Structure 1
Amino acid sequence: MNQFVLVFIVSALVLITPKVWCSPWIGTLEPQLHRDLETLSEWGVLDAAVTSFPVPWKGIAQQLESVNPDQLAAIPSIAAKRLKHYLKVHQTQAGQSVISLYAANEDSRFTDFSGLQAQKVQFNITKEMYVGRWAGQISANYGRAGKKHFDESFIAYQFGDWNLRLGSMSQWWGPAQSSSLILSNNARPIPSLALSRSEATRSNHKLLKYLGPWFFTMQVGQLENERHIADTKIWSTRFNFKPISNLEVGVSWNAMWGGKGRGNSLSDFVDVITFETECISTIENCVDGLDSPIGNHHAGIDFIYTAQVFERPVSFYGQRIGEDKREYFNVTDSATLLGISSYFLGSKIYLESSDTNVDCSNQAVPSYNCYYEHGVYKSGYRFYDRSIGSTFDSDAKALTFGIKKQFQNGDLLDIEINRLELNRDEIKPSPVVNGLQEELIRLSGSYQTQFGDWLVKAGADIFHGDIDYGLDSNVKSKTNSLFYAQIKYRLN
């Protein structure tokens, strides 16, 4: 996709009609707003499906307008005030312009929901615009050595209950706080054409209303040219809904297909989504056990169940994502994420465990090095060398404890501790482990505050652990640190 063309189209639309409308999604410029939305959902203030980020404003805006923050407990009251403030800004402006600068002493190895990418230095200029039923965002990003890209730029049109979007936008599928096994913002956002429901609240349709609040999206994107199979396509779809007020369920499916030297026609795409097979060997007549669905499939389910315990929400959640190697919907070779969260002393606390150390069933002998990998698409389930799913990539066990504190004045404090086991067999091709076995403790934290139109965030990551260099049991303890700061300025 030529993103310069996208920038031209968005700019032209600003001149077409003066009618001001509203941004379609919550948190495209400030991802932390999704935390407020989760808080209000867990406390039962809003009735919406919130495990697909970003979430549409439509429907939620109407619910939010009837909320009186002064009648809520302290934690949901702060969240409601912030969301109502941003909603008012969206409704009274034709868009926002933001300049930001991010700088660190090293490239970041792991990312989190805040969306800070791996570059050591990045300067960004973003212009958000709404005109009639159209919405657009131009985001120009400049890094070291003259590198630049237009990630987070998009154009969208809303018609009825649906939204059509062209561009690249960070997404997060699932209820976890530290990562997602199928789609997170660990990698750069993938340029895509997407059709999505324009709201995540309850439908008025006589049949669909029994689903409770729900959201659906389907997308076709294209990966980078600098990979084993250039210009690989990716099909992504997700449906999440709340059949009862305290339970949300999501079903997701991604499939990589096409690319240079592969079938890229409509009929080839139909073969992918109908699970037609091809032989994984070079022999003409494929024997049983050597045929596999065309493309690189990942699919699975996630859930979050919230109960009220001692007048505060306690949430239990999980995600199970497998490499879809068997016919139809028989998902195999699955990785698992489990977690629990609640609120204490004005903070959200959570404990999560994820395991992508998968023993793949299609191997002749027990073997790892297969999750997020593929025999045809050898660059794996990655975009520009970073996992599209888990921030810890494959062959990784992670135990995470986190605290998220939101103050009355809007300041944010995040603290997270990870215990990581990476690459036990020392032959993992993942870029985040460099072929070494590691057992690490990672302490990360950040603080965000606002001064008028200035938003300042500072943080640090400290790693300590044992790294096995594979030379006569040469295990060394090592400590690394990352310090970073981000400054944003809103021009209007």
Structure 2
Amino acid sequence: MGAIFALLLAAPAAASPWAEVGDNQLRSDLELLNASGVVRDITIQWPMPWQSIVSSLESQELSRQTPAVRAAAARLLGLAHAGTAPGFSGAVYLDATNKSDVIYGFDGMGRGDAQAQASLSLNSGIFSGRVSLGAITNNFGAKPNKLMPDGTYFAARLGGALVYAGYLDHWWGPGEISTLQLSNNARPMPQIGIQRSSTAPSHWPVLRWLGPWQFEFFLAKFDGPQIQSNVYYNGARLSISPLPGLELAAAKTEQFCGQGHPCSPLRDYFTNFDFSNHPDNVNGEGSFELKYSRLLGGVPFQVYAQMMNEDYSFSSSSGSSHLFGASVLVPTAGSPVKLTAEFADSIATRTPFSFGNFIYGYTYTNGQYPDGMRYRGRTLGFSLDTDSTLASVQGSWSDAAGRFYELSLHHATIGNRRGHGNIISDPPVALNQAEARVSLPLMLDRRGFKLDLAGRLQDNQPYPHGGFAAAVEVALRAPL
């Protein structure tokens, strides 16, 4: 375990006050500790402050825990200390593939055929920041290549709040493979926001029943190529854990202002809890989520669900999309194997549970906001866009050296003949995909590197390509 801790301290961690979106090994470790009762934290809202994770782990006596739990705790503490260490640090990130992945999840790699980025970070107690600059292309070796400031941020801890500005990825939802409302599928927009600096329970008697909780609010701007100019975005989310193992969340996101729209954001925000009341002013989505995890016969498991509504008129036209999933961490002689089954469906139902009564071409679209909930050609939520489904099974595990392995099988239907507007494929297409991934922590000259390798096979492709496809993707994170 000491070797793992030393390796992680030397690794080129992304210095920040958060555990950021993208590391499935980190997420699996936290879920194992949560289900085992070692920590009690929010696991359905990312990025997640390191402060609460570190304080929970450092106060625990782990000698009676299983070797798998102790190894997970060591990996998390190593990443937390590396990410929050004071001073300057730098890293470079490279990613290349012959075909970018249409199914983009929590641990998605590159968003294009190739990207390269360098970053310089500073942690200094109350203040922290990172400047990142790079380029991305969706057509390897050709133009245009786009500048990429993704991951740049400046943050200050003010009392119990963390105030930030920059280009940050978010993952709002319990889904292991997909989430409906806000994900890392699209590149991050320029934004300013505030969240709690720790998810610890409140000392106020009226809020103590919430258990660990997190609240976040941010404002962002659609600054890329858009049909409609001057459109802004806001997101507000509350996640709570009122009982051990139980997590609940509600979130609201909106597009507002924009060319041809009245721009009174404060008035519309506090009066528009039923989005149909002001159909010309905003394009909004609301999400409700549940996750429950615990030990059953000594085996950690979790079940979860998410429902996203395009409107709040539950009795007539909620426009609801759904996600359901379950995971179990099967004990083995070494590290447990995490098995996950998940189903995501962006074909909107007319009311929240009127399965079979659909509204096609509804999710992520809006007649008054022609771009919909999309940014730079990618959906803000579910990677397959509107009128699509994704059924997935996934297995993942770590070994004693800290390597992380992942195998996934997906069946996707992209778009539907009864609806229009899917930006991935029109006409619709169905495909099956198998993916194998490995993440390798490496030490060279006492410097830590991280190498990610992925191989994908699929029996079909989105229009206009079609047919069998094979892809290899390589990503490297190295210290400067």
TM-score bin (small chain): 0.7 to 0.9
1:272-287 aligned within 5 A:
272-275=269-272
Structure 1 counterpart of 2:454: 459
Instruction: Give yes or no for the alignment of 1:402 onto 2:394.
Output: yes
Instruction: Specify the code of the residue in structure 1 equivalent to 2:185.
Output: N
Residue 348 of structure 2: SS of its match in structure 1?
Answer: coil
Structure 1 counterpart of 2:157: 158
Structure 2 counterpart of 1:244: 243
In the TM superposition, structure 1's runs of 4+ consecutive aligned residues that sit over 6 Å from their partners are 466-469
Q: 1:337 aligned to 317, 323, 328, which one?
A: 323
In the alignment, the residues of structure 2 paired with residue 28 and residue 393 of structure 1 have an alpha-carbon distance, to the nearest angstrom, of 20
In the alignment, the residues of structure 1 paired with residue 358 and residue 185 of structure 2 have an alpha-carbon distance, to the nearest angstrom, of 29
Structure 2 counterpart of 1:42: 35
In the alignment, the residues of structure 1 paired with residue 44 and residue 134 of structure 2 have an alpha-carbon distance, to the nearest angstrom, of 28
In the alignment, the residues of structure 1 paired with residue 190 and residue 394 of structure 2 have an alpha-carbon distance, to the nearest angstrom, of 31
Residue 268 of structure 2: SS of its match in structure 1?
Answer: helix
Q: 1:270 aligned to 267, 276, 281, which one?
A: 267
Instruction: Specify the code of the residue in structure 1 equivalent to 2:372.
Output: G
Structure 1 counterpart of 2:183: 184
Residue 77 of structure 1: SS of its match in structure 2?
Answer: helix
Structure 2 counterpart of 1:132: 125
For the Cα contact (< 8 Å) 2:17–2:84, is it kept in 1?
A: no
Deviation at 1:347, TM superposition (A): 1.2
Deviation at 1:111, TM superposition (A): 1.4
Residues 232 and 194 of structure 1: is their aligned pair in 2 closer, same or farther, counting only changes over 3 Å?
A: same
Q: 1:449 aligned to 426, 430, 440, which one?
A: 440
Residues 486 and 178 of structure 1: is their aligned pair in 2 closer, same or farther, counting only changes over 3 Å?
A: same
Residues 302 and 132 of structure 1: is their aligned pair in 2 closer, same or farther, counting only changes over 3 Å?
A: same
Residues 219 and 290 of structure 1: is their aligned pair in 2 closer, same or farther, counting only changes over 3 Å?
A: closer
Q: 1:326 aligned to 313, 335, 342, which one?
A: 313
Instruction: Specify the code of the residue in structure 2 equivalent to 1:380.
Output: G
In the alignment, the residues of structure 2 paired with residue 141 and residue 82 of structure 1 have an alpha-carbon distance, to the nearest angstrom, of 29
In the alignment, the residues of structure 2 paired with residue 115 and residue 271 of structure 1 have an alpha-carbon distance, to the nearest angstrom, of 35
For the Cα contact (< 8 Å) 1:448–1:458, is it kept in 2?
A: yes
Structure 1 counterpart of 2:140: none
Residues 360 and 230 of structure 1: is their aligned pair in 2 closer, same or farther, counting only changes over 3 Å?
A: farther
For the Cα contact (< 8 Å) 1:426–1:436, is it kept in 2?
A: no
Instruction: Give yes or no for the alignment of 1:317 onto 2:304.
Output: yes
For the Cα contact (< 8 Å) 2:89–2:120, is it kept in 1?
A: yes
Deviations 1:139-178, CA, capped at 9 Å, x for gaps: 1122243421201111111111111111111110111111
For the Cα contact (< 8 Å) 2:126–2:158, is it kept in 1?
A: yes
Name whichever of 73-82 and 395-404 sits farther off: 73-82
Instruction: Specify the code of the residue in structure 1 equivalent to 2:325.
Output: G
Name whichever of 309-318 and 291-300 sits farther off: 291-300
Instruction: Give yes or no for the alignment of 1:350 onto 2:340.
Output: yes
Deviations 1:412-434, CA, capped at 9 Å, x for gaps: 1111111112222075322211x
In the alignment, the residues of structure 2 paired with residue 466 and residue 164 of structure 1 have an alpha-carbon distance, to the nearest angstrom, of 42
In the alignment, the residues of structure 1 paired with residue 84 and residue 221 of structure 2 have an alpha-carbon distance, to the nearest angstrom, of 33
In the alignment, the residues of structure 1 paired with residue 100 and residue 262 of structure 2 have an alpha-carbon distance, to the nearest angstrom, of 37
Over aligned residues, Cα RMSD in angstroms?
2.6
1:97-176 aligned within 5 A:
97-144=90-137, 145=143, 146-176=145-175
Structure 1 counterpart of 2:4: none
Deviation at 1:35, TM superposition (A): 3.0
In the alignment, the residues of structure 2 paired with residue 290 and residue 256 of structure 1 have an alpha-carbon distance, to the nearest angstrom, of 15
Structure 1 counterpart of 2:77: 84
Structure 2 counterpart of 1:17: none
Deviation at 1:106, TM superposition (A): 1.9
Structure 2 counterpart of 1:7: none
Residues 79 and 257 of structure 1: is their aligned pair in 2 closer, same or farther, counting only changes over 3 Å?
A: same
Structure 2 counterpart of 1:485: 474
Q: 1:417 aligned to 400, 409, 415, which one?
A: 409
Deviation at 1:331, TM superposition (A): 7.7
Instruction: Give yes or no for the alignment of 1:308 onto 2:295.
Output: yes
For the Cα contact (< 8 Å) 1:277–1:293, is it kept in 2?
A: no
In the alignment, the residues of structure 2 paired with residue 147 and residue 408 of structure 1 have an alpha-carbon distance, to the nearest angstrom, of 40
For the Cα contact (< 8 Å) 1:42–1:306, is it kept in 2?
A: yes
Instruction: Say which structure, 1 or 2, has more relative contact order (CA 8 Å, 6+ apart).
Output: 2
Structure 1 counterpart of 2:10: none
Residue 139 of structure 1: SS of its match in structure 2?
Answer: strand
In the alignment, the residues of structure 1 paired with residue 49 and residue 416 of structure 2 have an alpha-carbon distance, to the nearest angstrom, of 41
Residue 374 of structure 1: SS of its match in structure 2?
Answer: coil
Residues 449 and 212 of structure 1: is their aligned pair in 2 closer, same or farther, counting only changes over 3 Å?
A: same
Deviation at 1:91, TM superposition (A): 5.0
Residue 63 of structure 1: SS of its match in structure 2?
Answer: helix
Structure 1 counterpart of 2:5: none
- If the length of structure 1 is used for normalisation, what is the TM-score? 0.85
In the alignment, the residues of structure 2 paired with residue 109 and residue 47 of structure 1 have an alpha-carbon distance, to the nearest angstrom, of 34
In the alignment, the residues of structure 1 paired with residue 73 and residue 198 of structure 2 have an alpha-carbon distance, to the nearest angstrom, of 19
- If the length of structure 2 is used for normalisation, what is the TM-score? 0.87
For the Cα contact (< 8 Å) 1:229–1:377, is it kept in 2?
A: yes
Deviations 1:318-338, CA, capped at 9 Å, x for gaps: 0000102539x9981100101
For the Cα contact (< 8 Å) 2:286–2:310, is it kept in 1?
A: yes
Deviations 1:456-483, CA, capped at 9 Å, x for gaps: 11102221149898xxxxxx98211221
Instruction: Give yes or no for the alignment of 1:53 onto 2:43.
Output: no
Residue 71 of structure 2: SS of its match in structure 1?
Answer: helix
Residues 124 and 331 of structure 1: is their aligned pair in 2 closer, same or farther, counting only changes over 3 Å?
A: farther
Instruction: Specify the code of the residue in structure 2 equivalent to 1:83.
Output: L
Deviation at 1:438, TM superposition (A): 1.4
In the alignment, the residues of structure 1 paired with residue 277 and residue 87 of structure 2 have an alpha-carbon distance, to the nearest angstrom, of 56
Residues 192 and 330 of structure 1: is their aligned pair in 2 closer, same or farther, counting only changes over 3 Å?
A: farther
Deviations 1:234-253, CA, capped at 9 Å, x for gaps: 11010000010011001111
In the alignment, the residues of structure 1 paired with residue 22 and residue 100 of structure 2 have an alpha-carbon distance, to the nearest angstrom, of 22
Uncovered stretches (5+) of structure 1, i.e. residues with no partner: 1-21, 279-288, 470-475
In the alignment, the residues of structure 2 paired with residue 107 and residue 199 of structure 1 have an alpha-carbon distance, to the nearest angstrom, of 36
1:470-481 aligned within 5 A:
478-481=467-470
Deviations 1:244-279, CA, capped at 9 Å, x for gaps: 001100111101111233233xx344214411899x
